[in-house]
Amino acid sequence: MTLSRRHLLSAAATGAAFAGFSRFADAVAAEPAGAAYVNEAAGYGPLKPDPAGVFDLPEGFSYTVVQRAGDPMSDGLLTPHKLDGMGCFPLDRDRVILVRNQELRPTELHLGAYGKNPELRGKVDRNLVYDRNQDDWALSGGTTTLVYDVRKRRLESSHLSLAGSSTNCAGGVTPWGSWLTCEEVLRSAGPNADGQTLGKSHGWVFEVPSRHKGLAQPAPITGMGRFKHEAVCIDPRTGVAYLTEDETDGRGLFYRFLPNDRLVPAKGGRLQALGFRDGGDSRNWDGKDWAPGAWKDAVWIDLEGVHNPDGDLRDRGHAKGAAWFARGEGIFFGRGELYFTCTSGGPGRLGQILRYKPSRFEGDAREKDEPGRLQLFVESTDNRVMNMCDNLAVAPWGHLVVCEDKVESRGVNFLRGVTPAGKVYALGKLARDETAAALPTTELAGVCFSPDGTTLFVNAYWPGMTLAVTGPWSRFKA
């Protein structure tokens, strides 16, 4: 369903709030080693241990558990596990819509919405399921849609909204009020190495209208290419979509999609990959290719065979001059520019935040004389300040908010803030029992804000939990 002009303007205002974020930050700890929380900026003050052992926040802040994996939903199905990327949309004065991914593989049917056996699969319309396995069971990846009252801090309803996809990682909101959900996987129709036989190929982007009730039509946007998609954002001025690729070996591309119809990406378009006019390696693993704060002029390279049946799109793009990126992750469009993370970029492979400013002639022939530019905005040099940045969003008051996704044993994942002056601070942390013998690690994901700026939403990926955080956001200390 298309949003009204008022809702479009509200959504655009949220994205436009980040105009002042223009300085780079070479993230170095400002507090002595051994400090409980090592930050560059005071932020909202030190994090306080959560008595419930869920999520540590600064003094005066609190959270509400919106939903947990396994909770019953309004459609009679169960809340899936592995909750990942998420977008927030206005519904009315008091309520918002959340569309949320579940990053479930074909082998993880028992963790999805249909139950462990899965005994609830008969509740889903077969005609609205994208794919099934060899046992005729709907794949468990996809999205769920929630209606949440930010005034009453109460979940009103939830339902499965995309069925039969695989490994839905992150995505992005559109200016017209839908969620683009990305499959972070390359799987072919037929037998696969994990023992699953699939009916269709995977590695696509799907569109889920936020106000649609029930399951959306599961139609892949094939023009956006088939690869290990992570996330996507759209420039509201041009309709150009920008897409990240998360390859664990650090050999992914950064893409843009020039749509034939800026409001209907399913009508096709051109897929391109970014290269640098003067060469160089964005990953900066040796610390010599790119100085923090420096800019590089972009060139955009046309790609062929974007349906990628042989899984070699990135290699073909790189051979034509596209640059490598070290695990492209979350992406978010601000005012006239976008930010995206590379989880393993930089000499310490601790992560980077990159900033792209499109050409005023983005996507047409004149951009060769006035190209878009990419900046190495943040490159962490201390894992206590920022480590493995992943999903990110722009807060309505002009800060970046970034999820961490540490994978090491006993890792602790923070929710980080970055100020317009480029200072890093701790905004939240998943609580951990440090005395426990085994400490399961889970990432933070899906950070987004209500349009009125009162509520931050974030997911704890495993087993799966959505939180709504409120507090004195205006109390920030530089």
Is it the case that residue 42 has pLDDT exceeding 90? no
Q: Annotate 86-115 with DSSP letters as a single string.
A: EEEEE-SSSEEEEEEEE---TT-GGGSTT-
Q: Which residue has the tokens 């769920």?
A: 144
Residue 114: CB partners within 8 Å, gap ≥ 6? 77, 78, 120, 121, 123, 124, 137, 138, 140
H-run or E-run covering 316: helix 313-319
pLDDT tens-place string over residues 97-137: 999 999 999 999 999 999 999 999 999 999 999 999 999 99
Percent of the chain with pLDDT over 70: 89
Q: Cβ distance 206 to 131 under 8 Å? A: no
Task: Give the CATH number, domain containing residue 362.
Answer: 2.120.10.30
Instruction: State the total domains in the chain.
Output: 1
CA 162 to chain centre: 17
Per-residue model confidence (pLDDT) at position 409: 60
pLDDT tens string 85-96: 999 999 999 999
Peptide bond into 396 cis (omega under 30): no
The candidate with the shortest Cα–Cα distance to 89, out of 10, 163, 181, 151, is 10
pLDDT of residue 423: 84
Contact 223, 269 (CB under 8 A): yes
pLDDT in the model for residue 39: 52
Q: Tell me if residue 412 falls in helix, strand or coil.
A: coil
pLDDT at 335: 84
Is 317 inside any structural domain? yes
Task: Report d(CA 206, CA 200) in Å as an integer.
Answer: 14
Residue 57 binned pLDDT confidence (cut-offs 50, 70, 90): very high
Q: How far apart are CA 300 and CA 296, in angstroms?
A: 13
Would the pLDDT of 168 be above 60?
yes
Q: What is the pLDDT of residue 274?
A: 98
DSSP, residue by residue, 336-380? S-EEEEETT-STTS--EEEEEE--TTTTSGGGGTS--EEEEEEE-
Residue 251's SS3 state is: coil
**Residue 418: CA count within 13 A, CB half-sphere:** 31
Average pLDDT over residues 162-170: 98
- Tell me which residue range forms the domain holding 214: 5-472
What is Dmax (Cα atoms) for the chain? Answer: 61
Decide if pLDDT at 373 tops 90.
yes
Q: What is the pLDDT of residue 427?
A: 96
CB atoms within 10 A of CB 200: 18
Judge whether 477 lies within some domain: no
Question: Tens of pLDDT along 238-280?
Answer: 999 999 999 999 999 999 999 999 999 999 999 999 999 999 9
Q: How confident is the model at residue 438 (pLDDT cuts 50, 70, 90)?
A: very low
In a domain, 463, yes or no: yes
Q: What is the pLDDT of residues 440-472, one digit of tens each?
A: 568 999 999 999 999 999 999 999 999 999 999
Identify residue 156 by its one-letter amino acid code: E
Residue 294's H or E segment, with its range, is none
> Span 317-326, mean pLDDT?
98
| Domain assignment of residue 478, yes or no | no
* Lowest-pLDDT range of 100-104, 291-295, 410-414, 415-419: 410-414
CA gap 415, 398 in Å, rounded:
16
pLDDT greater than 90 at residue 36: no
Residue 351 domain flag: yes
Residue entry with tokens 């940045």: 389
Mean pLDDT for 156-181 is 98
**Has residue 268 been placed in a domain?**
yes
Query: pLDDT confidence of 397, banded at 50, 70, 90?
Result: confident
**Poorest-pLDDT segment among 108-117, 395-404, 436-445, 469-478:** 436-445
The predicted structure's pLDDT at residue 408: 65
pLDDT at 208 exceeding the cut of 60: yes
- Location of structure tokens 């969620």: 179
Average pLDDT value for the chain: 90
Residue 43 resides in a domain? yes
The dihedral through the CA atoms of 395, 231, 269, 126 has a sign that is negative
Residue 79: the pLDDT is 98
Read off φ and ψ for residue 180, nearest 5 degrees.
Answer: -95, 115
* pLDDT score recorded for residue 8: 31
Give domain status of residue 51, yes or no.
Answer: yes
pLDDT surpasses 90 at 17: no
Find the distance separating the first CA and the last CA of the chain, reported in whole Å. Answer: 42
Query: 138 with 96: CB under 8 angstroms?
Result: no
